[in-house]
Homo-oligomer: A and B are copies of this chain.
Amino acid sequence: MPAPPPGEPGQGSPATRRRGEGLLRAIYTATIDQLAACGYSGLTMEGVAASAGTGKASLYRRWASKDDLIIEAVNHVLLGAADLPDTGSVRDDLLDLLRRTTEVVASPTGCAFYALMRGNPSERDFAMLAKKRLMQPRHALVLELLQRGVERGEVRPEAVTPLIGHVGIAMVSHLIMLNDGQVTPDDLVLIVDDILMPIVRVRDDQPSKSSTTRSLSG
């Protein structure tokens, strides 16, 4: 139950109802929590209303359906900032970015977004929205970070690919799934040092063409 906002100064009577923005925020949060807890199929208007500490009538006054509510909640819920780190080294940038990405992915909001992205084809619109808000900005940051590494001579130009841009977050979400929502700081260091850096960094044996990669493993 959210704490009621303080009453007017000098009036001594605290307000007992939320109104407007405060209630909206509680409803969005409740929607995300329900999505994280039981996915799209399991989310009910009753559950959202109960979790938000309000009544169904307040939901239906604003949204005609569960779908409308979800779309708006996904659009408006707060996500962590998506900024490009600048530590001076690609390794440390990747680590910093991966930490921040992990915080978001491991949060209830992250869980809710993943639930939408993994839904079945009838839930495609939600999936696209979740990808647009959660995945695309962070993916773009990784590629930008790698490109900057290329310009610094730290990263192979051939490593700046959409696929390689997904490795970090793929590993994090996989570990979260396998380890009951837990990823340790050590895990992140290992992902960067043992997986990402071997892939992206300029090598001493670096030829300029990726076709040589195949003949080496031939």
| Interface residues, chain A, with chain B CB atoms under 8 Å away | 36-42, 89-91, 114-115, 117-118, 120-121, 124, 127, 131, 135, 154, 158-159, 161, 163-164, 166-167, 169-171, 173-175, 177-178, 180-181, 187, 190-191, 193-195, 197-199, 201, 203-205, 210, 213-214, 216-218
Can you offer 19 A-B residue contacts whose CB atoms are under 8 A? Answer: A38-B41, A40-B42, A41-B41, A117-B177, A118-B177, A131-B178, A161-B194, A163-B171, A163-B194, A164-B194, A166-B174, A166-B175, A167-B171, A169-B174, A170-B171, A170-B173, A174-B174, A193-B213, A199-B199
- In the complex this chain forms, how many copies of it are found? 2
Query: In the assembly, what is the distance between CA of A197 and CA of B174, in Å?
Result: 20
**A154–chain B nearest beta-carbon distance, Å:** 8
- A217 proximity list for chain B (CB < 8 A): 89-91, 154, 193, 197, 201
- A124 proximity list for chain B (CB < 8 A): 180
Query: In the assembly, what is the distance between CA of A177 and CA of B135, in Å?
Result: 11
- A40 proximity list for chain B (CB < 8 A): 42
Closest 4 CB pairs of A and B: A41-B42, A170-B174, A204-B205, A91-B217
- Quick one: closest B residue to A43, CB to CB? B41
- A218 proximity list for chain B (CB < 8 A): 89, 91
Query: In the assembly, what is the distance between CA of A195 and CA of B168, in Å?
Result: 11
Given contacts A91-B218, A170-B171, 18 further A-B contacts (CB under 8 A): A37-B120, A41-B41, A115-B118, A121-B181, A131-B178, A159-B194, A163-B194, A164-B194, A166-B174, A166-B175, A166-B178, A167-B167, A174-B174, A194-B213, A197-B213, A201-B217, A204-B204, A205-B205
**A176–chain B nearest beta-carbon distance, Å:** 9
With most chain B CB atoms within 10 A of its CB, the pick from A135, A167, A193 is: A167
Query: In the assembly, what is the distance between CA of A169 and CA of B174, in Å?
Result: 9
Query: In the assembly, what is the distance between CA of A173 and CA of B121, in Å?
Result: 16
Contact assessment for B195 and A164 in the assembled complex, using a CB-CB cutoff below 8 Å: yes
**A133–chain B nearest beta-carbon distance, Å:** 14
